[in-house]
Amino acid sequence: MIDTLTIKTTKTSHSRLAETDMSNLPFGQVFTDHMFVADYEDGEWKNFEILPYGPISMSPAISAIHYGQTIFEGMKAYKQQDGSVSIFRADKNLARFNKSATRLAMPIIPEEVFIQGLAALINTDKDWVPAKENYSLYIRPVMFATDPFLGVRPSSTYKFIVLTSPSAPYYSNPLKVKIEMKYTRSDEGGVGSTKTAGNYSRSMLPTLEAHQDGFDQLIWTDSKEHKYVEESGAANLMFVVNGKIITPEVRETILEGVTRDTVIEMAKSMGIEVEEKRVSIQEVLDNIDNGGLTEAFAVGTAATITQISEISYQGKNYVLTDPAARPVSTAIGKKLYDIRYGITADPFGWNLIV
Ligand code: PLP
Ligand code: COI
């Protein structure tokens, strides 16, 4: 039984909804009228509040901005056919948030704070959940260290904020990707399996260089040998080889995606075979060459299912099958879409109606 949270709500005196074009929402640029905020002090979470979205005042000495003791999550809420709103697999994101918190020596968030805070915020801003096809309300919980202290040690105070952003998917076109052989995203013993800022800051220069070379994204490889593909910039990777989905197995250098798990479950329920294993670059390239590889795609909350159209390795470009003619990922994507938007029943129990 979850305790009921007491949340103080201060509503905005001027909603920005009427002046927002809800049919043109590039990812992550528009925020709803409110945010949920909580503080961790004296060993407990307190001060649960829904406030107008806006700037917050912080000491410039907080350790989050100096040492990166900060974690986040990404999930989505979808408008259902009956007008209600569902959050997709929030339990999984909570579990991963707390796994990240533990690795970063931060306090975990109790289930009632996370779920009730989210639900209250989404109910307050429910008119902001887009109705447009493929659009959703992207939810961004973030926790960061707030001790104003320049010593390197875990903070004793933290802030937890949930932002919501009505958005289109992160990518609008199939991706041309480069297999990265110089830089790495993460390494054994590191924080690659958590959603912490450092994993993203270290990816910026490599991704910028990839953009300058004409690619949309990178495929990260293992840090020891650059022999195995791991994941993409903001999504996990899947390939269809001889009718079977193969995907890099979860390890400490890879973020264990909720979408990855969802697609695997869905594929299995449709009778599609799935193999989770170490996937070598050689295996991918050989199967492109011999025609066995018929689909490649990236899966993530923001990315949804994004097709990969071309893969480049050491200067050689491999053009894949037509992204518009990929039956396996298209069929899985359609079934998933119907569950997320309440078009069909949800036998998996993934939707949390708020
Ligand atoms: N890998 C990375 C590095 C990501 O940032 C994301 C996005 O959250 C994913 C994978 C996919 O995870 P999920 O499906 O939980 O969004
Ligand atoms: C998500 O898919 O939720 C992410 O966190 C991707 C983000 C880094 C853009």
**Residue with CA closest to ligand 1 atom 10:** 235
Looking at the DSSP assignment, which residues form a beta bridge with residue 310? 176, 319
SS3 281: helix
* Terminal Cα-to-Cα distance of the chain (whole angstroms): 17
Q: Which of 171, 301, 332 to mutate to test the pocket of ligand 1 (most atoms within 8 A of CB)?
A: 301
Atom 5 of ligand 1, nearest CA residue: 234
Report pLDDT digits (tens) over 255-302: 999 999 999 999 999 999 999 999 999 999 999 999 999 999 999 999
pLDDT, position 307: 97
- ∠ CA 263-268-272, nearest 5°, is 100
The pLDDT of residue 233 is 87
Quote the CA–CA distance of 185 and 177 in Å, as a whole number. 15
185 and 143, same structural domain? no
- 3-class secondary-structure state, position 158: strand
Domain end, chosen from 127, 146, 169, is at 169
pTM for the whole structure? 0.96
Q: Are residues 331 and 304 located together in one domain of the fold?
A: yes
Q: Do both 161 and 303 map to the same domain? A: no
Ligand (nearest to CA of 138): 2
- For 259-262, the CB contacts below 8 A with 24+ separation are 259/235, 259/299, 259/300, 259/301, 259/303, 259/304, 259/305, 260/236, 260/299, 261/92, 262/89, 262/299, 262/336, 262/350
- Decide: helix, strand or coil at residue 137: strand
Residue 258 lies in a domain: yes
Q: What per-residue confidence (pLDDT) applies to 2? A: 63
Tokens found for residue 199: 């994993």
Mind listing the pLDDT tens digit for each residue in 59-78? 999 999 999 999 999 999 99
Domain that holds residue 192: 175-340
Same domain, 43 and 99: yes
Measured by CA distance, the residue closest to atom 3 of ligand 2 is 74
Atom 6, ligand 2: which residue's CA is nearest?
234
For the record, the structure tokens of 332 come out as 């899985």
End residue of a domain, out of 139, 169, 199 = 169
Q: What is the CATH number of the domain that holds 312?
A: 3.20.10.10
Task: For residues 196 and 306, state if they share a domain.
Answer: yes
Q: Strands 293-300 and 236-241, how do they pair? A: antiparallel
- Span from the CA of 72 to the centroid of ligand 2 (angstroms): 9
DSSP 172: S
Q: How far apart are CA 267 and CA 332, in angstroms?
A: 6
Using alpha carbons, list the distances in angstroms from residue 52 to 16, 33, 36, 116, 165: 11, 6, 9, 18, 14
Each as own residue / partner, the long-range contacts of residues 329-335 (CB below 8 Å, 24 or more positions apart, any chain) are 329/238, 329/240, 329/295, 329/297, 329/305, 331/270, 332/263, 332/266, 332/267, 332/270, 332/272, 332/305, 333/304, 333/305, 335/266, 335/270
pLDDT at 8: 97
Say if 295 falls within a structural domain.
yes
Same domain, 44 and 130: yes
> Which of the residues in the chain have pLDDT under 50?
none
Say if CB 131 and CB 22 are below 8 A apart.
yes
138 contacts: CB under 8 Å, gap ≥ 6 = 27, 28, 74, 75, 76, 164, 165, 166, 167, 301, 302
Whole-number pLDDT of residue 111: 96
Is 157 found in the same domain as 228?
Answer: no
Note whether residue 41 is domain-resident: yes
Task: Verify that 190 and 227 share a domain, yes or no.
Answer: yes
Residues 128 and 230 in one domain: no
In a domain, 347, yes or no: no
Ligand 2 contacts (CB < 6 A) are 74, 170, 234, 300-303
Q: Look at residues 130, 147, 169 and tell me which one is the last residue of a structural domain.
A: 169
Q: What is the pLDDT of residue 3?
A: 77
CA 4 to chain centre: 28
Quote the pLDDT of residue 269. 97
- Our count of domains for the chain comes to 2
Distance CA(107)–CA(72), nearest Å, equals 13
Say which residue the tokens 């918190």 belong to. Answer: 101
- Ligand 1 pocket, residues with Cβ under 6 angstroms: 74, 231, 234-236, 255, 257-260, 300-301
Query: Which residue's CA is the nearest one to ligand 1's atom 9?
Result: 235
Q: How many CA atoms lie within 13 A of 107 on its CB side?
A: 22
